[in-house]
C-alpha cells in the first residue's frame, strides 16, 4: 500500500483513494482481484498499480515508503 493511507503524516479524507501496489505474479484472475478490492473498499476508490507497469521512480518509492499488507 502506498499514498496517503500508508503515510502516517498524510491526511486521509473521505475523498481519498486507496493505492495498492502489486508485486510479483498474480494468482488467478486479475479482474476478479480488482472487483474484490473495489467491493471491500466501498465507499473509497481503489488505485491498483502492477509493479511491471509502474515507472521506476514509483517502484523505488513504494519499496522505500510503502506499507506491506
Residue 43 lies in a domain: yes
pLDDT for residue 26 is more than 90: no
Domain count for the chain: 1
Q: For the whole model, what pTM was predicted? A: 0.84
Residue 4 lies in a domain: no
Q: Helix or strand or coil: residue 50?
A: strand
Residue 6 lies in a domain: no
Which residue, 24, 50, 47, 26, is CA-closest to 37?
47
Residue 1 lies in a domain: no
pLDDT value of position 25: 87
- 2 with 66: CB under 8 angstroms? yes
Percent of the chain with pLDDT over 70: 100
Scanning the structure block, which residue is given the C-alpha cell 483513494?
17
Residue 9 lies in a domain: no
Residue 10 lies in a domain: no
Residue 12 lies in a domain: no
Amino acid at each position: 500500500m502506498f499514498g496517503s493511507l500508508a503515510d502516517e503524516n498524510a491526511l486521509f479524507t473521505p475523498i481519498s483513494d486507496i493505492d495498492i501496489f502489486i508485486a510479483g505474479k498474480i494468482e488467478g484472475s486479475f479482474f476478479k482481484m480488482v472487483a474484490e478490492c473495489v467491493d471491500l473498499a466501498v465507499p473509497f476508490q481503489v488505485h491498483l498499480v502492477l509493479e511491471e507497469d509502474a515507472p521506476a521512480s514509483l517502484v523505488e518509492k513504494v519499496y522505500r515508503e510503502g506499507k506491506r499488507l
